[in-house]
Amino acid sequence: MKNQFFFKPLIAIASLMLLTVSCNNDDDFTAPPVIKGEQQLKDTLTIGKTLQLSSKLADRKNVSFEWAVDGKVVGSDSTYIFKPETRGDFKITMTAKNDGGNVALTYDIHSWGAYENGFFMINEGWFGHGTGTVGFYRYDTKAVEDSVFVKVNPDKDLKPATSTLEFGTIINKKLFLVSKVG
What confidence tens digit (pLDDT) does each residue in 101-122 have? 888 888 999 999 989 899 999 9
Global confidence as pTM: 0.65
Question: According to the model, what pLDDT value does residue 134 have?
Answer: 93
Question: According to the model, what pLDDT value does residue 176 have?
Answer: 92
Give the Cα separation of 77 and 65 in Å (integer): 6
Question: According to the model, what pLDDT value does residue 100 have?
Answer: 85
- 10 Å CB burial of residue 155 (0-12, 13-18, 19+) is exposed
**What's the mean pLDDT when you consider all of the chain?**
82
The string of pLDDT tens digits covering residues 65-101 is 999 999 999 999 989 999 999 999 999 999 989 888 8
User: Cα angle at 156 between 153 and 162, to 5 degrees?
Assistant: 135
At the fourth CATH level, the homologous superfamily of domain 29-112 is Immunoglobulins (2.60.40.10)
Q: Which backbone phi and psi does 20 adopt, to 5 degrees?
A: -65, -40
Residue 29 scores a pLDDT above 80? no
The segment(s) of the chain belonging to CATH 2.60.40.10 are: 29-112
